[in-house]
Structure 1
Amino acid sequence: MKKHLLRRGGMLAAVVASIALAGAVPASAAPGDGSAYGVNVDVKLLGADAVKLGPLAAANTDGPTSNSTVSANAAGILTAGVINTSAVRDDNSGAVTAKASTADVGLPLLKAALGNVGIKAVEAVCTATQEGVKGSSTLVGADLGSVGDVDSNPAPNTQIKVGLGPVNVATLILNEQIKNKDGSLTVNALHLKLLGGVVGALGSGDVIVSSATCGPAAPPMPLASGAGLWVGLGVLAAVAVPVGLRFTRRRSVA
């Protein structure tokens, strides 16, 4: 009888210990990643040198998790004020949140086609949880010249054709949402694509303002790390100690 109780107690303790320490084995899925930046310019205008600027104020879940810059200027292409970004991962839940906000955005490149283009604030946000990945964009005080005002929360992948006369020379994409092959989602609040190769083209390349990428979510916190370790040890104690006391009590009676 004594041997039977001791064997049972040992088996239960081993099972609970194996559960508690299971997190010590590396997970098969990589932790959830997130990133964000405020401005990225990569264009080649006709008759001019290539212009590359950014990504500015880049943030990443692996660090730095937040970033900022006071202004951005690509002469004749883009102007912007303060940029703030963040990308954080909650190791307990595996959730990822990334955000980029850019103030006082101007696009002088489009003046010939649309007139003065200005937006007081451009923000992209994405979140990844165990339920899935989602994103959104907000444009505060957006005035796109001849296009006029736009919705402050445009539908995903809203496209505005930019023309010089009858020729489309660019496409302005608002709240661009790209589902990547690795399961992550990229949200570009504003993406200007120059259509090179057409008659009357301004040039070729891309201007992106406020971009956030995140997901898929990481697995929740492994049981054997941080608070999970103490939970597992608590369960182990709750099972093993009563069994040990029972065995000792029976032995003393005998």
Structure 2
Amino acid sequence: MKRHLVRRGGMLAAVVACVALAGAAPASAAPGDGSAYGVSVDVHLLWQSAVKVGPLAAANTSGPTSNTAVSANAAGILTAGVITTSAVRDDNSGAVTAKASTADVGLPLLKAALGTVSVKAIEAVCTATQEGVKGSSTLADAKLGSVGAVDANPAPNTQVKVALGPVNVATLILNEQIKNPDGSLTVNALHLKLLGGVVGALGSGDVIVSSATCGPAAPPMPLASGAGLWVGLGVLGAVAVPVGLRFSRRRAGA
């Protein structure tokens, strides 16, 4: 009889353990996300059909965690060479890192306003840790026509106005950093915004080259997996064993 009650107590402890772990899972079921892509074009030029390309070579912490594309081309708007992206999460620390790199970028759309625009390589990087989220951009050998060369590591949200004569028709944003409502950070290494609705406009829409989004970081060492699982089972075991013994002793006393 004592053995029977001990077994019942053990079964009860197992049920308690399952319920506890089930309740713990949702807390670690929303880990930090990360994503990246190389090129996205969504513009409507005057007197032309809309042009949409990408996002190209998209990567995500949910998979695929890395991606590549050999080239990108939107006729008369953008040309680009090899694109490489990655987005990975460290399940032990919860840290997230996302990166996008695009080689040999040209913006023929801006030739009438600025002249030849070319960048040897454009990279966006973001990282999310328990301390916070941060990002940066690198534009290697960037030449913006009449604007000239620009800093390889421009300050966040550096803006370059693009004009045709006296009219601003577009804005180039370098190292654009956007803090999203969910706590994540999006870094667009280069973002061309066409200012539709103005006299002499080229059109409307956006061209983004090398984009990475991170965070916030996930809680470290989730309870329902890895080392956290053994910690959780150890605590539950310490509680469950006395449950079985208490049932046995009470029955014996009766």
TM-score by length of structure 2 reads 0.82
- Name the aligned partner's letter for residue 109 of structure 2: L
State the partner residue of 1:10: none
State the partner residue of 1:184: 184
State the partner residue of 1:159: 159
Query: For 1:111, what is the secondary structure of its paired residue?
Result: helix
Counterparts in 2 of 1:233 and 1:27: CA distance versus 1, 3 Å: closer
Deviations 1:208-227 (A, max 9, x none): 00000011111112234112
Overall identity of the aligned pairs, in %? 89
- Name the aligned partner's letter for residue 117 of structure 2: V
Asked if 2 retains the 8 angstrom alpha-carbon contact of 1:23 and 1:225, the reply is no
Query: For 1:26, what is the secondary structure of its paired residue?
Result: helix
Asked if 2 retains the 8 angstrom alpha-carbon contact of 1:142 and 1:149, the reply is yes
The total of aligned residue pairs comes to 227
State the partner residue of 2:57: 57
User: Which residues of 2 match residues 65-104 of structure 1 at below 5 A?
Assistant: 65-104=65-104
- Name the aligned partner's letter for residue 66 of structure 2: S
For 2:158 and 2:198, locate their aligned partners in 1 and report how far apart those are by CA, in whole Å: 22
Asked if 2 retains the 8 angstrom alpha-carbon contact of 1:178 and 1:187, the reply is yes
Deviations 1:29-49 (A, max 9, x none): 721111100000000111111
For 1:224 and 1:216, locate their aligned partners in 2 and report how far apart those are by CA, in whole Å: 20
For 1:92 and 1:28, locate their aligned partners in 2 and report how far apart those are by CA, in whole Å: 11
For 1:107 and 1:25, locate their aligned partners in 2 and report how far apart those are by CA, in whole Å: 48
Q: How far is the alpha carbon of 1:232 from its aligned partner?
A: 5.0
State the partner residue of 1:199: 199
State the partner residue of 2:170: 170
TM-score by length of structure 1 reads 0.82
Q: How far is the alpha carbon of 1:119 from its aligned partner?
A: 0.2
Asked if 2 retains the 8 angstrom alpha-carbon contact of 1:23 and 1:223, the reply is no
User: Which residues of 2 match residues 139-154 of structure 1 at below 5 A?
Assistant: 139-154=139-154
State the partner residue of 2:125: 125
Segment drifting more, 226-235 vs 113-122? 226-235
Query: For 2:109, what is the secondary structure of its paired residue?
Result: helix
For 1:51 and 1:22, locate their aligned partners in 2 and report how far apart those are by CA, in whole Å: 48
Asked if 1 retains the 8 angstrom alpha-carbon contact of 2:41 and 2:54, the reply is yes
- Name the aligned partner's letter for residue 27 of structure 1: A
Q: How far is the alpha carbon of 1:233 from its aligned partner?
A: 5.2
For 1:227 and 1:218, locate their aligned partners in 2 and report how far apart those are by CA, in whole Å: 16
State the partner residue of 2:108: 108
Deviations 1:115-160 (A, max 9, x none): 0000000000001111111000000010001000000000000000
User: Which residues of 2 match residues 13-52 of structure 1 at below 5 A?
Assistant: 24-27=24-27, 30-52=30-52
Please report the RMSD computed on the Cα atoms of aligned residues, expressed in angstroms.
Answer: 2.4
Deviations 1:41-87 (A, max 9, x none): 00011111110000000001100000000000000000000000001
Q: How far is the alpha carbon of 1:228 from its aligned partner?
A: 2.4
Q: How far is the alpha carbon of 1:28 from its aligned partner?
A: 7.3
